[in-house]
Amino acid sequence: MDIDKFREETLKRLGLGEVNSGIYDGKWAPVEGRETVTSYSPIDGKPIAKVTLARKDDYDETVKKSKSVFEEFRLIPAPKRGQIIAEIGRALREHKEDLGRMVTLEVGKTKSEGEGEIQEMIDIADFAVGLSRQLYGLTIASERPYHRLYEQWIPLGPVAVISAFNFPSAVWSWNAFIAGAAGDTVVWKPSTKAPLTAVAVMKVISGVFEKHGFPPVYSLIVSKGSEGGNWITDDPELRLVSFTGSTRVGKRISEQVSRRLGRSILELGGNNAAIVTAKSDENIALKGVVFGALATAGQRCTSTRRAIVESSIYDNFLGKLKNAYSKIKVGNPSEKGTLVGPLIDAEAIEDFKNTVETAKRQGGKVIYGGKVVENPTVPGGFYVEPTLIEAHSGMDIVKEETFAPILYVLKYTGIEEALRLHNSVPQGLSSALFTNDMREEEAFLSAYGSDCGIANVNTSTAGAEIGGAFGGEKETGGGRESGSDAWKGYMRRQTVTKNWGDDIPLAQDVVFDF
């Protein structure tokens, strides 16, 4: 597909122009007189459009408005809040293809992955609608007669979501739709590498607010990288900050938010491994490892970075990996049949090159790929070869995360050694084991098994479902978002004691005589 035509059609479908407002607080701020950021497509390196950047006064006004809306929104019954999100979900369904095209254009995901990201938003909207009728608290047995003891959950307040480029819309919705069901308002600061997707999503959502007369629960602030982040993390009006990004930045955000005794949900680096045992179904393992390593060109926090393969099948499995990699189509993600699109920008290309060279210096052997694509299908884009590197446990680079399609392959003997290799990195997000042996499976899922927040058996490290709580341990941050009981992070717990008797028996049998 001609990328210039694809760009023009996508902007037209979504009602975007050459310069677009990056500030929404119930109304779109004018674009005149504001600094802008240009969004470039990694497909061909050309500009897509511009987005205005918020000033400090824009930010202050947006948070003030979010707080005001919260005071109204928290009093709306939760099932009614769910209906607002239900309408948003319907609107996203109507615009799924167009928004998916924007994800493809702005961050380089294939068309199926771009639309898949919008489908995740739709799915989490459906989940949040059901959740709005299930914000349950506990009834607790009181030790005092004629007393009732229970817990209830109350909306927390205005919260902020700082999202990353690699999932420019879905991860925001994992937080925002759950927070909305909980009764919170949300200020969104997207990555300046993917601001147009955020603007396009907010245009769809703002249309829902206007059509139905709903309060503007969601706000948007596009700002310079660390500037806007500092406004958010230092702001006591924002009770919770959810951040997706690097461990380095996450640590700083955690410190800043903690300093004001705020809450944070951190979804940081991943360095995910797939253990492939001799008792696995190798066809399933092969598909799981290849998908995990190459989806989104290796730019997922759940991407498979390490394949830990049992020695007795190592050579055979490595041969199958090489064969699979040789058949992968790299190029324009808007074209049918492309499985691996571009990296996000020139900086990512340099990271890829430096990582491959470092791996070789540390004793790694490049088995496949390892180079920048010199003659890509679209000139000017940021394309690299899917890369396999034979590695060993002494290589420090294996313990680092690089957002690129690089897979380190390591050999092991015995499930205990596999688990030791698996857990030997600082990160702890997602993990996978491919086996048909119950003992190996139980070892992987035991207390000495995977130390990650997500553990998969016979499926990929990538592709988490929205129904489960998403997040990891160690340097991944320890936060949880999306499904299960992650909603509790967006609310405050209150323990309630009610005395309905004609006396007041005191705790610890204390007696006051007067």
Q: Point out the residues that are catalytic.
A: 267, 301
Please report how the helices 282-294 and 314-326 are oriented relative to each other, as an axis angle in degrees rounded to 10. Answer: 50
Kindly tell me the sign of the dihedral angle through the C-alpha atoms of 126, 491, 451, 255. Answer: positive
Contact call for residues 358 and 368 (beta carbons, < 8 A): no
Q: DSSP string spanning 224-281? A: -HHHHHHHHHT-TT--EEEEES-HHHHHHHHHHHHHTT-EEEEE----EEEEE-TTS-
Cβ proximity of 91 and 76 under 8 Å? no
Beta 159-162 vs 240-244: how paired, if at all?
parallel
| b/e 392-423 (16+ beta carbons within 10 angstroms → b) | eeebebbeebbbbbbbbbbbbeebebbbebbb
CA distance 136 to 147: 20
CA distance 396 to 418: 17
Q: In angstroms, rounded to a whole number, what is the distance separating the alpha carbons of residues 511 and 71?
A: 41
Pinpoint the alpha helices (H) of 132-246.
Answer: 170-182, 195-212, 225-233
- β-bridge pairing 473-474 and 427-428: antiparallel
CA angle 52, 53, 59 (to 5 degrees): 125
Spatial CB neighbours of 76, under 8 Å, sequence gap ≥ 6: 183
d(CA 436, CA 442): 11
CA distance 56 to 197: 22
Alpha helices (runs of H) in 74-110, residue ranges in sequence order: 78-94, 96-107
- Cβ proximity of 368 and 315 under 8 Å: no
Q: How far apart are CA 368 and CA 387, in angstroms?
A: 5
- The tokens for 470 are 């998403």
Phi-psi region for residue 80, left (φ > 0), alpha (ψ -120 to 50) or beta?
Answer: alpha
Length of the chain: 514
Phi, psi angle pair for 453, to nearest 5° = -75, -20
Q: Which of 228, 80, 467, 130 minimizes the C-alpha distance to 219?
A: 228
Q: Is 488 helix (H, G, I), strand (E, B) or coil?
A: helix
Cα distance between residue 370 and residue 387, in whole Å: 5
